[in-house]
Amino acid sequence: MKKTILSLFCVLALCLGLLPTTALAAAPSGQELYVGGVQISSTGYWTTGDDGTVTSAGATQPGDSYIHYDADTNTLTLHNATIQKELHSDLFISGSAIGVINQSGDAELNIQLEGSNKIEEVTQGLSMGIYVYSSGGGAALNIKGNGTLVLNSNYETIQVIGSNGNAALSIENAKVTATSSYGFGLTVQSGSSETSSASLTVDGGSLTATAQSSNVSGIRLRSGTGETGDGTPTVTVSNNASVRANGSAGGITSNSSTGIQYETGGNATGGIVFDGKNGTVYGTVELQDDLEIGKDESLTIGKGASLTAVSYTHLRAHETAANL
Question: Mean pLDDT of all residues in the chain?
Answer: 87
Question: 75's torsion region: left (phi>0), alpha (psi -120 to 50) or beta?
Answer: beta
Strand partners, 206: 175, 242
pLDDT above 70 covers a percentage of the chain that reads: 87
What per-residue confidence (pLDDT) applies to 166? Answer: 95
- Averaged over 214-224, what is the pLDDT? 93
For residue range 243-268, what is the model confidence (pLDDT) as tens digits? Answer: 999 999 999 999 888 889 999 988 88
C-alpha span between 189 and 95 (Å, rounded): 18
Q: What are phi and psi of 312, to 5 degrees?
A: -65, -35
Which band of pLDDT confidence, cut at 50, 70 and 90, is reported for residue 289? low
The vertex-277 CA angle with 242 and 306, nearest 5°, equals 50
CA separation, residue 73 to residues 68, 70, 110, 112, 172 (Å): 12, 6, 8, 11, 17
For residue range 138-195, what is the model confidence (pLDDT) as tens digits? Answer: 999 999 999 999 999 999 999 999 999 999 999 999 999 999 999 999 999 998 888 8
Residues 6+ apart with CB under 8 A from 123: none
- Averaged over 67-72, what is the pLDDT? 97
The whole-model pTM stands at 0.88
